[in-house]
Amino acid sequence: MTAKWEFVLCDALAKVHPVREPRPVSAGTRFQAFLGEPASFQLAYRPPLEPTFRNPSPLQVRVEGPAADLVTVSTVDLVPCTFLALPGHDDGYEYDEPGLYPDVLRPVRNGEAPVRFGSWAALWFDVSTTNSARTGVQEITVVITDPDGAELHREQVSVELTDLELPPLDIVSSHWMHLDSLADHYGVEVFSEEHWAIVERFMASAAEMGATSLLAPVWTPPLDTAIGSYRTVVQLIDITVTADGYRFGFERLRRWLELCRRTGITGVEVAHLFTQWGAKATPGIVVSQDGAEPTRAFGWDVPATDVRYRELLEALLPALQAVLDEEWDREHVVFHISDEPSGEDGLASYLAAKEVVADLLKGWTVVDALSEHSFYTSGAVALPVVATDHVEPFLADRPERLWVYYCVSQDRDVANRFIGMPSARNRAIGHQLFAAGVDGFLHWGFNFWYTWHAIRRINPFEDTSAGGAFPSGDPFAVYPGPDGTPWPSLRHRVFAQAMWDHRALQAVRAAHGNAAALDIIDPDRTLRFNRPVLEPDHYYESRRRLTEALTTGS
């Protein structure tokens, strides 16, 4: 391998496409992280562009220097994307044609870096520590050799690990983790020991991404499910009906809550009490009759206002709330009525469903996603979760508490984390959430490995758009690695950076006031949800100034 190889150092917001020249790191970019945060960078590489070069043997990568043990290395793998953007999309996309694009971060094994003939590839490096004694400027040397050991490239990278522990995220960062998806993909029995182990690993990955709250499947969540069909049952609560009434078992729920504690998840979202898009029916709840095998007792065929459902909830909700009060702080628990109601009919059915449970939820926080301001002004939803492209009226007529969300429909003008978008458009959400002063963020798809409406399972390494229904990347931010190990995506890592940005802004606000924090990220006070900053250097310069404000007091 004596022919010319090419190497380019890139920041963490670059996407290294196989046939596009990679964007090199700017001269002023500083790789920096706080205690517990990864400082990330990439090294792009391309084999000789000569038809005679045909050696597919992987390269070898190693890290040298006193901080080498603080570094983890991944390869940035390509995934197929058939739906990147809708026709007539805005200018804030990096890719819009079907093809193979960088997304999966696959851990490097045995120091091997794959070779792609005629194409760029990239290695991703994370440098982090929680030990104050290991902080400071670390000089890291990346060495690339050919299979025979001959050195092809040596790159010295300075990484600043700042000896400062940031405050915990003070907003809710909610992500819906789908337990059925884990069981279905890995082919394990629901709530078997193997399933629990996988759940814990993916919980930890969600927390690493910046999640503080997860959806608790106290019953199988009635979400993204075709009418008349049902998803794999992942009901945490045992429900038995006898001649004397209902009896409940909460052992699995308590175990789930313990996993949340262990992995750093502080918020609990109780699964929706009624079906999605109108609250017209009941969730597919399974019930055991006098100890027999549980069977479905509620579902699409049982209306939301059916007296049998009210009878169940009269017994179940007080018992569930007693367990939650015992195990958790109710200030960090939310209930949902129904997801995404809309239109006059949707409002009417939502209000009818809400009436079924209103007295049973007194004293508890109820949160629901919606986009129509009239739903809030009608009093239907006291704490709305509003789409970022519909939030301006809510900011003008502000609820006491307000969350925002984005998903498939937020494809124009606002931040999102589709694979086709530049990473800066993903990272923007941290600055936006802080500047707007909202109380929470929600995303529906941490690991939705199904087609639209969960009609069939998909392999996320082969299908990134739920069978073509959603822009690639919308349904999930994490991939199922071998043996139940989560593999993060580029988008997972960058969203985490956005949440670390928010935490740094909180720290500056606490030390110097809110105006000082805003002066760093939004000096003109023009930042809005529909105007994300797409310049990568903005985020590195903002981070430099945040760090300076926290370490020098100015």
Mean pLDDT of 196-218: 98
pLDDT at 340 (0 to 100): 80
Does the structure show a pLDDT above 90 at 386? yes
Q: Is the Cβ–Cβ distance between 214 and 260 less than 8 Å?
A: yes
Q: Is the Cβ–Cβ distance between 13 and 539 less than 8 Å?
A: yes
Residues in the chain, how many? Answer: 554
pLDDT at 2 (0 to 100): 53
**One-letter amino acid of 493:** R
Helix (H, G, I), strand (E, B) or coil at 469: coil
**One-letter amino acid of 45:** Y
Mean pLDDT of 466-495: 98
Q: What is the 3-state secondary structure (H, E, C) of 172-226?
A: EEEECCCHHHHHHHHCCCCCCHHHHHHHHHHHHHHHHCCCCEEEECCCCCCCCCC
Does the structure show a pLDDT above 90 at 342? no
| Prediction pTM value | 0.97
For residue 87, give both structure tokens: 């026709």
Burial string for 143-180 (b: 16+ CB within 10 Å, else e) reads: ebbbeeeeebeeeebebbbbeeebeebebbbbbbbbbb
Mean pLDDT of 423-430: 98
As a whole-number percent, the residues of the chain with pLDDT over 90 amount to 94
Looking from the CA of 411 toward its CB, the CA atoms found within 13 Å total: 18
Mean pLDDT of 516-525: 98
Q: How confident is the model at residue 183 (pLDDT cuts 50, 70, 90)?
A: very high
Residues 6+ apart with CB under 8 A from 375: 341, 347, 350, 381, 384
Does the structure show a pLDDT above 70 at 521? yes
DSSP 123: E
Residues 6+ apart with CB under 8 A from 325: none
Give which of 48, 35, 53, 36 is closest to 7, Cα–Cα: 48
Q: How confident is the model at residue 437 (pLDDT cuts 50, 70, 90)?
A: very high
pLDDT at 1 (0 to 100): 44
Does the structure show a pLDDT above 70 at 270? yes
Does the structure show a pLDDT above 80 at 363? yes
Q: In angstroms, rounded to a whole number, what is the distance separating the alpha carbons of residues 401 and 439?
A: 6
Give which of 228, 224, 231 is closest to 184, Cα–Cα: 231
**Would you put residue 467 in left (φ > 0), alpha (ψ -120 to 50) or beta?**
left
Q: In angstroms, rounded to a whole number, what is the distance separating the alpha carbons of residues 129 and 392?
A: 40
Q: In angstroms, rounded to a whole number, what is the distance separating the alpha carbons of residues 221 and 282?
A: 10
For residue 531, give both structure tokens: 């105007």
Tens-digit pLDDT profile for residues 108-130: 999 999 999 999 999 999 999 99
Does the structure show a pLDDT above 70 at 520? yes
What integer best gives the mean pLDDT of the chain? Answer: 96
pLDDT at 554 (0 to 100): 62
Q: Is the Cβ–Cβ distance between 29 and 69 less than 8 Å?
A: no
Strands 112-113, 59-64: pairing kind: antiparallel
